[in-house]
Amino acid sequence: MTSSEIIRSALIKSGKSQAMLAEFMGCTRQNLNIRLRRETLTYNELEKALAFLGCRITVLDDDGQTLRHYGNSKGAKLTRQIGGKMFDTSKASLIESTSGTDAGSVAEFKELYVDATGQKFVAYRLPGGRGTISIDPAAIEGFKKTQCDTPTQR
């Protein structure tokens, strides 16, 4: 199925018109029609259009599991080897992030991650792009339990 066929199916299912979609996308109906015929929508435009039409794109692996978005950190890449295992924020999924400074902490903010093996870890973001990583259970438990299993969506 092409991106145009996906959009046209979503238009029919949603009951919305191509003119409504074009207005939402910030272009003319004619321009949208040309881009659909030429298959020139970018992935981000396709995703945005589908969201407007009440649909979303999901990528599944061979086991039918949703592919997680990795490397969605708010800060610079941090890595640290702990117990012979490398922890890397650019290769892990961000679950939750604090905002601002915690009382009594020098960290600007903390981020809770989960890597591809399911291991959770905390990245402490320090001023100037520096930071460190911890796998201390108390640090991990400091985040809301209700959000520990679902990655943050962008």
Q: How many Å separate Cα 145 from the centre of its chain? A: 19
The neighbouring-strand residues paired with 115 are: 92
In tens, the pLDDT along 94-144 reads: 888 876 544 445 667 889 999 888 899 999 988 777 889 999 998 898 875
Side-chain-side CA neighbours of residue 30 (13 Å): 0
pLDDT at 92 over 60: yes
pLDDT band at 73 (very low <50, low <70, confident <90, very high): low
* Nearest C-alpha neighbor of 73 from the set 119, 127, 114: 114
> 8, 37 in Cβ contact below 8 A?
no
What is the pTM for the complete model shown? 0.50
| pLDDT for the residue 100 | 54
pLDDT of 87 > 60? The answer is yes
Domains observed in the chain: 3-52 (1.10.260), 79-147 (no CATH)
